[in-house]
């Protein structure tokens, strides 16, 4: 019995199992698509209205109306929002 155990230990030392190197997959990042809008904001940077990019005049008009009717000034600024595909 002692001989068998000794033979197994010698066999284990001679043939170590080499692990294969793991190659990690590099996943391409998803493209984030943005669309431009005109946002009408109040003094505290809260968005009050949102218009398409080609409707700048309507956004300016809305900002003027809100400024005249309220206490705080309103202004127009470009906004970029993410497009959700689906």
pLDDT tens, position by position, 14-41: 556 778 888 888 888 888 899 999 999 9
pLDDT number for residue 70 = 84
* Interacting residues of 47 by C-beta distance below 8 A, sequence separation 6+: 39, 40, 41, 79
Confidence of residue 13 (pLDDT cuts 50, 70, 90): low
Q: Give the SS3 label for residue 6.
A: helix
Token pair of 73, please?
A: 């000034």
For residues 1 and 85, the model is more confident at 85
pLDDT number for residue 30 = 83
pLDDT number for residue 53 = 97
For tokens 């669309």, name the residue. 35
pLDDT number for residue 48 = 95
């Amino acid at each position: 019995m002692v001989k068998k155990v000794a033979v197994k230990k010698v066999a284990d030392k001679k043939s170590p199992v080499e692990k294969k190197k793991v190659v990690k997959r590099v996943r391409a990042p998803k493209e984030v698509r943005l669309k431009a809008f005109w946002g009408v904001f109040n003094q505290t940077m809260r968005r009050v209205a949102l218009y398409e990019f080609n409707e700048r005049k309507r956004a300016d008009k809305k900002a003027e109306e809100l400024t005249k009717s309220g206490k705080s000034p309103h202004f127009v600024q470009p906004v970029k929002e993410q497009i959700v595909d689906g």
